[in-house]
Amino acid sequence: MVKKTLLAVICIVLCASKVMAGGYPGNVMPNEIQDDSKLQELEKMLKDQAKTIESLQNQVKNLQDEKDSHLHQLPPTASAAAAGEETWADRIKWFGDFRLRHQIIDDDGAAGNTVRNRTRMRVRPGLTAKVNDDIDFIFRLTTGEPANSGNQTFDDYFDSKDIFIDLAYVHYHPEEILGNKVENDIIKELHFFGGKMKNPFYRVGDNEIVFDKDVTPEGGAVKVQFQCPTDTLCMWLSAGGFVVEEDEDDADASLWGVQGGFKSDLGKHENLGEMKLVTGISYYNYGSIKGRALPSGGAWGNTTKRAVPGGVVEEDVFASDFDILEVFGELEINPLDVPVLIYTMYVVNAATDEDHQAWGAGATIGKTKKVGDWETGYFYRRVEADSVLGVFTDSDFVGGGSDGHGHRVHVGYKLAENVKTKATFFLARKIIEDSDDFWNMLFDVEFYW
C-alpha cells in the first residue's frame, strides 16, 4: 500500500514538472500567458496539486506510524525478524548425535563363561547459544549417567530411558579485556570455560588411557593459543581446576591439570606427503583421593584397602593418591594422499611406586570425512592398576577401568552424509589378576547433525 501511494506522489510531481516545462496544450509558458483568466486557471491547478501532494504525504506518514506501532506490539523475536535484525533464534545452533550399538562380550573369566549380547544406544542432543560476540553457552543432554559412558542398554520391558545433563558451560573468547586487545606479540587467542564442559586437554590419537572421550569435567579451565614463533611451529597451554566429589565433612576430591604442547608443520615429503607433528606434556593432580570411599561402580581397577572413611563403617577405599604425568606425541603423514596418524603416550603416577605406569601406541589409516571414505586403526595399551584413576579411563577396555593390557582394532566407513558405521574389536586381559582373555566386539551406526 505504501509503495502504491509513493508511486502516485511521484506521478503527480512529474505532472507538475510537465506543466512547468510546457506540458499544457499549445505549449503555453508562464511568460507567454497574456490572458488573466488563463493565468488564474494555472495558479489554481498548481495550488490543487500542492494540496494533493501534502495530503498524500500525510497518508504516507500515517501508514508508517501504523507499521511502527504494529512492530512494537509483536513479540521481540517476530518484531526483530520483521525489521531484518538478528533474533534469539538466529543465535542458537543445534547439534547432536544418535548412536545404535550391538555389543558382543566374551569374558573367559566370568561366571559361567557365557557370551553376552546386548543392544545399546547413546543420544546426545545439544545446542550452542550466542550470548554476545564474546560469550557462548553450550548445553547437551545424554542417555548415560557414568562419567565414562553415555550408553543405555535395551532392557527392562520397554521402560523409558533416563536422560542426564552432559554439558552445561560458558565459553568466553574475548577480543578485548578491560579495553586491551587480547591478541598481541605473544598471545593469539584466549579461551575461558566454566561449568560442565568438554575435556579441555588434548588426547593424541583420540586415545582414552587417562580420560574416556565421554568424560566431561566440572569446574573451570583456560586455554591459551600463543603466536607462532615461526611459520611451522605453534604452541598452546591449557589449565583447569575441577571438582571430583564435594564432601560436606571433609576436603573435597579435586583435579588440577595443566598441559602444554607444540604443533609443528614439517612440510611436504616426496614420499610421505604433508607431515605434521604434535608433542606435549600433561600433569594431573588429584586431591584427597587416597582413603576416599569408592564411587558407585566400584574401584574400576584401582587398588583398594579397608578403612573407615568418616568414622562410620569400614568399607573399601582408594589405596593410592594420583599425581599423573603424561608425555605424548602424534605424527600425521599423507603417503599417496592417504592420511596416516601414528601416536604414542607414556603415563606415570608419581604418588605411588607400585603398578603406576601406563603406555600405548597406535596408528590410524584413512579418515571418514566424505561419503564412501574408509578408515582403519590399531592401538595397543598397557595400563597398570594405579597408573590412572580408573573411573575416568576407557569404559570398553577390559570391561572398563585400569589394570589391563591388550589390543584394539577398528574399521570405519562413511555410509551417507552425516552417517557413519564402525566395527571395533578388543582383545585384552587383566594384569594383576592374570585373568583370562576378555573379548569385546562393538558394531556401531552413528547419525549426527
Give the tens place of pLDDT for each residue, 138-175: 999 999 999 999 999 999 999 999 999 999 999 999 99
Give the per-residue pLDDT at 364. Answer: 99
Give the per-residue pLDDT at 6. Answer: 47
Taking alpha carbons only, the member of 240, 238, 237 closest to residue 256 is 240
Residue matched to cell numbers 611436504:
268
Q: How far apart are the first and last CA of the chain?
A: 43
Give the per-residue pLDDT at 75. Answer: 63
Q: Please write the tens of the pLDDT for every residue from 413-445.
A: 999 999 999 999 999 999 976 678 899 999 999
Could you give the 3-state DSSP secondary structure of residue 117?
strand
pLDDT at 119 over 50: yes
Between CA 359 and CA 412 the distance in angstroms is 25
Give the per-residue pLDDT at 80. Answer: 58
Give the per-residue pLDDT at 46. Answer: 81
Contact between residue 129 and residue 135 where contact means Cβ atoms under 8 Å apart = no
> From residue 230, how far is each of 182, 264, 266, 267 by CA, in Å?
20, 10, 12, 13
DSSP assigned state of 293:
B
Contact between residue 309 and residue 315 where contact means Cβ atoms under 8 Å apart = yes
Q: What are the strands, taking DSSP E only, across 19-64?
A: none
Cα torsion angle, 192, 197, 201, 206, sign: negative
Give the per-residue pLDDT at 436. Answer: 83
Residue matched to cell numbers 557414568:
146
Contact between residue 318 and residue 288 where contact means Cβ atoms under 8 Å apart = no
pLDDT at 135 over 80: yes
**Of residues 13 and 363, more confidently modeled:** 363
Give the per-residue pLDDT at 314. Answer: 80
Contact between residue 253 and residue 288 where contact means Cβ atoms under 8 Å apart = yes
| Residue at 118: amino acid letter | R
Give the per-residue pLDDT at 34. Answer: 57
Q: ∠357-277-171 over CA atoms, to 5°?
A: 80
Residues 6 or more apart from 63 whose CB is under 8 A from it? 1, 2, 5
Give the per-residue pLDDT at 51. Answer: 82
**Got the DSSP string for 210-270?**
SS-TT---EEEEEEEEEPPSBTTEEEEEEEEEEEEE--SSSPPEEEEEEEEEEEEEEEEET
Lowest mean pLDDT among 24-33, 200-209, 256-265, 291-300: 24-33
Confidence of residue 349 (pLDDT cuts 50, 70, 90): very high
Contact between residue 290 and residue 323 where contact means Cβ atoms under 8 Å apart = no
Taking alpha carbons only, the member of 204, 183, 200 closest to residue 192 is 200
- For the segment 191-200, the average pLDDT, to the nearest whole number, is 99
Between CA 207 and CA 396 the distance in angstroms is 12
Confidence of residue 39 (pLDDT cuts 50, 70, 90): confident
Could you give the 3-state DSSP secondary structure of residue 350?
coil
Q: Which three cell numbers stand for residue 21?
A: 516545462
Between CA 225 and CA 223 the distance in angstroms is 7
Between CA 100 and CA 423 the distance in angstroms is 12
Confidence of residue 85 (pLDDT cuts 50, 70, 90): confident
Between CA 324 and CA 390 the distance in angstroms is 12
pLDDT, averaged across the chain: 89
Cα torsion angle, 22, 23, 24, 26, sign: positive
Question: How many residues appear in the chain?
Answer: 449
Contact between residue 423 and residue 447 where contact means Cβ atoms under 8 Å apart = no
Between CA 137 and CA 354 the distance in angstroms is 43
Between CA 124 and CA 164 the distance in angstroms is 9
| Residue at 432: amino acid letter | I
Q: ∠287-290-293 over CA atoms, to 5°?
A: 105
Give the per-residue pLDDT at 433. Answer: 67
Taking alpha carbons only, the member of 194, 128, 139 closest to residue 167 is 139
| Residue at 326: amino acid letter | E
- For the segment 249-273, the average pLDDT, to the nearest whole number, is 95
Lowest mean pLDDT among 17-31, 202-216, 286-300, 413-427: 17-31
Residues 6 or more apart from 12 whose CB is under 8 A from it? 49, 52, 53, 56
Percent of the chain past pLDDT 70, that is, above it, reads: 86
Radius of gyration over alpha carbons of the chain, in Å? 35
